[in-house]
Structure 1
């Protein structure tokens, strides 16, 4: 999460906000949805040692898995890292003593891939700004993964910082276009087009997908819209616990086991908060029972997302036997109804889309789960829950009317 600005204040408003450490931090150029997600994961991975260590590392396959694309597609990863290195962040800050500071830096000072490891660094000045919770707010990766639009994720990032104050404050439209990555398009100079193609769809996805609800408000000069702000409230249906206070989590056995695998402090706490202590312990036990796992962090990431588990007696995934029953008795099984709808959804896609769907889903799998999907495709029993979640996210409402398990 990189481009989360504070209010753009001038004159007496700026002087009145001196003690609030008001800052404007924004990014030049355009970031794709993939680059935004990549930027957030890299920041989360580095956050605990952002100031104390100049260089940060993460397993490349784990990085790809957390973002949600093919872990073997190194060219896409290289292109995304290159884009972050070529994009600049600019800040304009007023500190508590009233001293103004302007600065500019590339988002990444460098990045390299070697031996399956992604190594990267931030400039010292930008690292200092990113580590300041008054300026930046880390984005919950579980929420980030839901976004399908880069504009929606950009809006979420730029609003999330202000959830406790309830409003972003007024942004002039030139700044807003820049934050959305459309400043270079003359088409969006017209507010009608900006509202129809960027604001309304982005607001709808943020409100449907994230843990906040945003409401746009505009200010005019004559008949022309000149400024925009967003009212922000927590989404009670998707509220995520605050991760800032991790004292209790750090004392748990599960936290210690996750950290022993090499997972960062913040990511370990986030997994426990999102999934629950018992669920994470179950997945840690599952992985420990596999033996010889080369990439334990990547495997745990997949196990948490895909709900890897074993039947106590057979050692096979617990979904297997139920799915086999549904295949033998398709007329009465809700699971068979879901399988039928999944087949219909897949058939409705173009050949190119079908191939992309399979590659995207495969990128999230490892080990036995990956082998089972490669053999059975969307009928894979071992991945039944993950497949259902995948298609529900791709086609909301597709399983309405089907009885739950």
Structure 2
């Protein structure tokens, strides 16, 4: 069954795309592109503009990639996404033509081992048009399948992408960002890494030249422009460089994320911004003191008259001293702390209720979407869907209980019905015109209601 553009939720997809574009081109908020690792770990000789264009066009098309044939974006927005500040679209046309005519190799490396895997080749775009300030473009069917598999992707910061000045820097960023949570990339055989960087043929054959003209430039750009720091390591055999990998460190973001696993955002922000504690010092304090004890001393200081009148100098040292000497609050401070604690409790309860309402609303959206899809099916299509569902229940051991309920009660059992809806959601998502994620749905609900 093909997607029905008359469905009410089609407009939600359009609103979401416009919102993503506005975020990407007109704000300082971080906006990320989910780029399938097949597309990241590919061999090609794309220019910097072509590589940026590849990412920008995919960013624009991604929400509707599985079921839409043609995609459009204004040339103005496209230029902003790739950091091109000119009204001369000649360069843009040449780059688009390059995406149609340039062959790329897919899946050059295995994401876990860094070794070469199976080989495929294709052009990036099947067609493109630039007319009346609008860029219209298409992907081939096989390209869309390769690009849209959201279970495996690397996150590319769209604004960071637009800042790169060399294709080598952007290529290294793309190939490292995938591993940012693992602290290092796998070992890449040098010949494979050369392909990933777009250095083909007999260019820079000696490692000395390659390091000077490619590697150093790329590393400096990534370290200066992105949220990660990369440090290359090389492996030699008989004095010859054979492999390369990169140690990865996030900048301040990495420390914040690790701390956020231990304390809530409010306390983290207070320790960082109000008391000027570094992420490293915060972690040291967390290993030495209980979180509740740290929060108690923070509240004592913040609610003290000395703090509110700006009389405390060296807040970080004062906080550390209060922890070591176990400062106690005065009676007036204790009252303020009690009031602050009650206020925080009420706010947390209100947020919990708000989150529950959001969840209920999203569940209704998904349920309505599925029911709408089911009502549009013919009897034959419904029978085929039920048969597929039965096969899934039989073949999956974890569904054994659901299968027994199904044989006994059919779809009258609430558990079976929920399982069937989940099956439809997972296997027929594209036929429904796509289903927004919880985060995407809530971002729209919060903004437009």
**How many Å separate the matches in 1 of 2:82 and 2:135?**
14
Whether contact under 8 Å (2:35, 2:147) holds in the other structure is: no
Q: After superposition, where does 1:257-296 map in structure 2 within 5 Å?
A: none
Shift of 1:215: 1.4
**How many Å separate the matches in 2 of 1:198 and 1:125?**
32
Match of 2:438 in 1: 247
Match of 1:64 in 2: 79
Shift of 1:165: 2.4
Q: Aligned with 1:26: secondary structure?
A: coil
Which deviations, in whole Å up to 9, do the C-alpha atoms of 1:227-264 show, x marking residues without a partner?
A: 111122222269999xxx9634642468745xx9xxxx
TM-score of the pair, normalised by structure 2 = 0.47
Note closer, same or farther for the CA distance 1:25–1:48 as it changes in structure 2 (3 Å cut). Answer: same
2:208 is the alignment partner of 1:192: yes
Note closer, same or farther for the CA distance 1:24–1:117 as it changes in structure 2 (3 Å cut). Answer: closer
Whether contact under 8 Å (1:217, 1:231) holds in the other structure is: yes
Which deviations, in whole Å up to 9, do the C-alpha atoms of 1:255-307 show, x marking residues without a partner?
A: 745xx9xxxxxxxxxxxxxxxxxxxxxxxxxxxxxxxxxxxxxxxxxxxxxxx
Match of 2:57 in 1: 42
- CA-based RMSD of the aligned residues comes to 3.3
**Residues 64-73 or 51-60, more deviating:** 64-73
Match of 2:70 in 1: 55
**How many Å separate the matches in 1 of 2:254 and 2:90?**
35
Q: Aligned with 2:104: secondary structure?
A: strand
Which deviations, in whole Å up to 9, do the C-alpha atoms of 1:71-124 show, x marking residues without a partner?
A: 5212111001011112223224889xxxx8642210111111123211111122
Shift of 1:213: 1.4
Q: After superposition, where does 1:91-130 map in structure 2 within 5 Å?
A: 91-92=106-107, 102-130=119-147
Shift of 1:164: 2.0
Whether contact under 8 Å (1:4, 1:159) holds in the other structure is: no
Whether contact under 8 Å (1:91, 1:102) holds in the other structure is: yes
Match of 2:163 in 1: 146
Shift of 1:151: 0.9
Whether contact under 8 Å (2:183, 2:249) holds in the other structure is: yes
Q: Aligned with 1:153: secondary structure?
A: helix
Query: What is the aligned residue count?
Result: 233
Whether contact under 8 Å (1:218, 1:229) holds in the other structure is: yes
**How many Å separate the matches in 2 of 1:219 and 1:134?**
32
Match of 1:204 in 2: 220
Whether contact under 8 Å (1:3, 1:26) holds in the other structure is: no
Which deviations, in whole Å up to 9, do the C-alpha atoms of 1:315-367 show, x marking residues without a partner?
A: xxxxxxxxxxxxxxxxxxxxxxxxxxxxxxxxxxxxxxxxxxxxxxxxxxxxx
Match of 1:88 in 2: 103
Match of 2:342 in 1: none
Q: Rg: which structure is higher?
A: 2
TM-score of the pair, normalised by structure 1 = 0.51
Instruction: List gaps (5 residues or longer) in structure 1.
Output: 7-22, 261-405
**How many Å separate the matches in 1 of 2:256 and 2:151?**
19
Which deviations, in whole Å up to 9, do the C-alpha atoms of 1:122-179 show, x marking residues without a partner?
A: 1222222211245532421111122222211110011111112232211111111111
**How many Å separate the matches in 1 of 2:106 and 2:444?**
41
Match of 1:160 in 2: 177
**How many Å separate the matches in 1 of 2:122 and 2:172?**
22
Match of 1:377 in 2: none
Match of 2:251 in 1: 235
Shift of 1:47: 0.6
Q: Aligned with 1:145: secondary structure?
A: helix
**How many Å separate the matches in 1 of 2:80 and 2:182?**
34
Note closer, same or farther for the CA distance 1:72–1:140 as it changes in structure 2 (3 Å cut). Answer: same
Q: Aligned with 1:206: secondary structure?
A: helix
Q: Aligned with 1:251: secondary structure?
A: helix
Note closer, same or farther for the CA distance 1:70–1:213 as it changes in structure 2 (3 Å cut). Answer: closer
Match of 1:32 in 2: 47
